[in-house]
Each structure stands twice: as C-alpha cells, then as structure tokens.
Amino acid sequence: MSPWQRTTKAVNLQQPDRVPKTAGFTPHIQRLFEEQTGAKDPAAYFGMEMRGVGFLEPKQQGDFSPYYPEGIPEGAYVTEYGTCHVPGGFYHFDRMRFPMRELTTIEELEAYPWPDFTPEYRSAHLEDDVKRVHDEGYYVIGGVGHIWENSWQLTGMEKLMLDFHDNPEFAAYILDRVTEDRCFMARRCAEAGCDQISLGDDVGMQHKLMMHPDTWRRWLKPRLAREIKAATDVNPDISVFYHSDGNIESIIEDLIEVGVTVLNPVQPECMDPVALKRHYGDRLAFWGTIGTQTTMPFGTPEDVRQWVKRMCETVGEGGGLVLAPTHVLEPDVPWHNIVAMFEAIVEYGVYRD
C-alpha cells in the first residue's frame, strides 16, 4: 500500500497492510537526529506516512504595543493574536503575557487588532501543496488550530473562566471571533483537498477535564461543532483529528457527536488506550498511544518495543490506529528509545490475515 492508502484505511477504521506511524521532534531531538543519522528530514528517514500543510504567516501584524504599556521583553515574540511569549528553558516552555488581561467591554474587543486569515496570499498555495504531497503518495493533514487555547491566551485562563460567569458576553465575543477564524481555515483546508483537518484544544489534566464537562459543553462544544461543520460541508468524508492532552474521557461521546473521527494523543498515563478501543473503536480511530511521560523517556529499548507490540495487538486490532509518541519527543528521550520505537513499529505493526 502507498502511505496515503495505509493512513486512509487506518483512520477510516479499516485494516491496512501495517500500522502507520509518525512523531513530532522538539528542536533538541531534531539536532540529536541530525547528529546520529546525518539526515535532515525525520519523516523521510523513518518512513512516516503523512505530511502537513497550512496557512502562511501574515505579512504584517497588528500594533499590540498599546496592550503592553510595560513593553515587550527582549527576546520575546508576539503572535498574530497578540499574545506575548517569553521563552523559557527550552521548546514550548514559555511564559505568556496576555494583551486582554485588563479588558472588560465589548467596545474594547471591537477595537482590538484581530488577525485576518482571509487574504488570498495566506491560503492560495494550499491546492498546489496538497497536490504535490498527494503526487508523492502521502496523506495530507491540514492544520487548523485551536479555539480554547487561542482564546485564553488573550486574557489569561483564570480571567476567561471567570468571565464565563461574571462577563459572559465578553467571553462569548472572544470565543466566537476565534471560532470564525478556525471555521475559515477548516473550510479552506477542505476546499484544497486535505485528507484530514487537525484541530483541538488542551482541555484535559492528568486525571480529569480542566473544567466541568457541562462548562465545556456550553462554551466549547457548539463552537467545535461549527468548526468541524465548516469542513464537512465541503467534504463530508474528511477525517477530523482532535487533539487534547490529558484525560478527556468525560467528553469523548460529545466529540464523536460533533464529528471527531480521530482522537489524539491518547496519553496512556491518563487514559487506557485498550479500554478506549474496546468502547469506541467502532466509531473512533486512535492516533498516538506511546507514552512520553513514562515509556519513551524512562523505559529501556525493550520496554519501548513491548509497549509498541502491545498497542499493535490491542488498539491496532482490525485497524483504527496510527502509532506515535503522545504529542512530541521531548529532550529527555534517549536516542536508542527513538530507534527502538520505529523499529518495533516496523516489526510488530504488520497485519496478517
């Protein structure tokens, strides 16, 4: 099978010839990979079956300086939404500053320099990119982004949660404005021919949702449904990949209801992938399942091999599995465990009728 055929079958709950695979590399792991292999592209080197496409950055950002009267710290960067990231020790461990931390009124939100994803130059390349990747035989993932995360990173998480109760019109304006951006991006990815849209929000903690499930259902579920519908109105068969770290078992039925077809990253330290396969495997594919809090950084190569084998034999039974580290390979993962993971997927991920 081609990489496209293999991944398409897996996410559609059918049995391919073998389990597809992928992994995200942090900058430290990318440097380690290059030192160990002399190669530059992990996806090509390890035979990953999928490639991503996405929107271009804006040519010019809004002026967010009025929202940071104290100034932007040296070395920090500001996103197109206006969130200030002050780099921490490594990779994504940033400290954030929030441009709307002092805002309270709709008038202030209406005057805010919101980003614009609609200029043609930001997405006109997508059709050509999708065709190129398809011509190379790979499965195409269109990156769409986040609703909850982009929203709370404007105000601060505590403030936005308080606004749910104390200033609901203010909270709704922010969420709706971000949702419109995500709907436009989802629609464009579907129009361009992407096989899958990748979206989601980190709403899980280690043992439970970070908010009451009813709060999620009121504030985030209907907006997620709009985002997915924007893509499925264009292509009803598009795969919908939803990412949330942590334990989100309390909303899995809701995710399926609004159109999610692939759950990621299925952290085994937080949820039991085998139990999820048993309960939802006829309606949901699973993408991930290899622990980056336990097995990958702290296990032996044999531990890694045995975990991969178990996932292939259980969660992978009959299809519906894409194996990957849960989220990304962090800097504390030893090189020999990365090699063991990919070798084990090749060895144990073969389906035999």
Nearest Cα to Cα of residue 241 among 86, 18, 12, 43: 12
Taking the domains of the chain in order of start, what are their residue ranges? 3-58+119-348, 61-115
Average pLDDT per consecutive 10 residues, the chain (353 residues; last block may be shorter): 98 98 95 98 98 97 95 92 86 86 98 98 98 98 98 98 98 98 98 98 97 98 98 98 98 98 98 98 98 97 98 98 95 97 98 85
**Inter-residue contact 238 to 276 (CB < 8 Å):** no
Pair of tokens at residue 104: 């309270």
Q: What is the DSSP letter of 81?
A: T
> Per residue in 180-195, is it b (16+ CB within 10 Å) or e — as a string?
bbbbbbbbbbbbbbbb
Q: 253: Cβ–Cβ under 8 A, 6 or more apart, which residues?
A: none
Q: What is the structure's pLDDT at 319?
A: 97
CA 156 to chain centre: 21
Q: What is the structure's pLDDT at 89?
A: 63
Q: What is the structure's pLDDT at 90?
A: 60
Which pTM was predicted? 0.96
156: left (phi over 0), alpha (psi -120 to 50) or beta: left
- Looking at the domain covering 3-58+119-348, what would its CATH class be? alpha beta
**Distance separating alpha carbons of residues 290 and 219, to the nearest angstrom:** 31
**Inter-residue contact 123 to 143 (CB < 8 Å):** no
**Distance separating alpha carbons of residues 57 and 145, to the nearest angstrom:** 13
